[in-house]
Amino acid sequence: MNKSKNIRWEREGEVGILYLGNPPENYITDPEFVSLSQLNKWLSEEVKGLIITGTGRHFSAGADLKTLLKQAEAEPGLFQKMIDGNRLLTFIDHLEFPVVASISGVCFGGGLEIALAADIRICDERSLLAFPEVNHDLIPGLGGLKRLEKTCGHKTAMEILLSGDIFNAKRASELNLVDYVVPAKECFEFSRNYIKGLIAGRSSKVIKRMMRSFRNSDRLDQDKAMEEDVKMFCELAMDYSLRKKSF
């Protein structure tokens, strides 16, 4: 178990678990909510999957506005801090193994931005999700706008952002904001089993290529992404052929 910036890290076999700290609401006081170098160190220990979750009842109620605004005045300034936060979420988004956000309770603003950097969002039937930024004349500042659009489509994303409405789990699932809704109190257990099911028996090499293929569908045109798939398949097939001969 490790601590840094109110973050707790645990590892269960090949799965890393990142707990957002600061209960009960798990407010995020620093956009770079875990130091990137620290996270990198933790992930280098043969991790093949990551769960991000909250400590206690809630995922995270988002940024602590008071602290945030204070940072706007102090050095090195909010702008630099937001850039660091953005870099962190992009890093998580680009990890070459599956990342699951396990969401119970509230998941607002910055918390939802973190959840959107994961590949899969699992919440329980009592979860509440929202981007309330608009109510404070703000916008999501950690890439949440773009990730929301990618996840829910342009129209839904605009409605969520411009309304600032709070969505229950059922509605969030209909809007594709979350992928799985599970009974209350079973969220973490489900998430853990889910991610273990994805990676069990798979080598890092295969996981990495499949993740790359999934990311390619978001960033390349389809033809190019398919050609990359052919290449990666050939790499794996060469390994397969070698393995077979060595038996």
Q: Given the rule CB under 8 A, which residues bind another protein?
A: 98, 119-120, 176, 179-180, 197-199, 201-203, 205-207, 209-210, 213-214, 216-217, 222-223, 225-227, 229-244
Place of tokens 């994805």: 198
Q: How far is the CB of 187 from another protein (least distance, A)?
A: 15
Please provide the size of the chain in residues: 247
Nearer to another protein, 7 or 120 (CB): 120
Q: How far is CA 228 from CA 44, 99, 150, 224, in A?
A: 26, 22, 21, 6
Nearer to another protein, 104 or 151 (CB): 151
The active-site residue out of 10, 45, 133, 189 is 133
Nearer to another protein, 79 or 233 (CB): 233
SS (H, E, C) the chain: CEEECCEEEEEECCEEEEEECCCCCCCECCCCCCCHHHHHHHHCCCCCEEEEEECCCCCECCECHHHHHHHHHCCCHHHHHHHHHHHHHHHHHCCCCCEEEEECCEEECHHHHHHHCCCEEEEECCCEEECHHHHHCCCCCCCHHHHHHHHHCHHHHHHHHHHCCEEEHHHHHHCCCCCEEECCCCHHHHHHHHHHHHHCCCCHHHHHHHHHHHHHHHHCCHHHHHHHHHHHHHHHHHHHHHHHHCC
189 is annotated as an active-site residue? no
Q: Are 73 and 94 in contact (CB under 8 A)?
A: no
Q: How far is the CB of 95 from another protein (least distance, A)?
A: 13
Q: How far is the CB of 82 from another protein (least distance, A)?
A: 27
Q: How far is the CB of 122 from another protein (least distance, A)?
A: 9
Q: How far is the CB of 211 from another protein (least distance, A)?
A: 9
75 is annotated as an active-site residue? no
Nearer to another protein, 37 or 201 (CB): 201
Nearest to 173 by CA among 189, 148, 154, 152: 152
Nearer to another protein, 41 or 150 (CB): 150
Q: How far is the CB of 121 from another protein (least distance, A)?
A: 8
The active-site residue out of 113, 149, 228, 235 is 113
Nearer to another protein, 2 or 193 (CB): 193
- What is the set of active-site residues? 113, 133
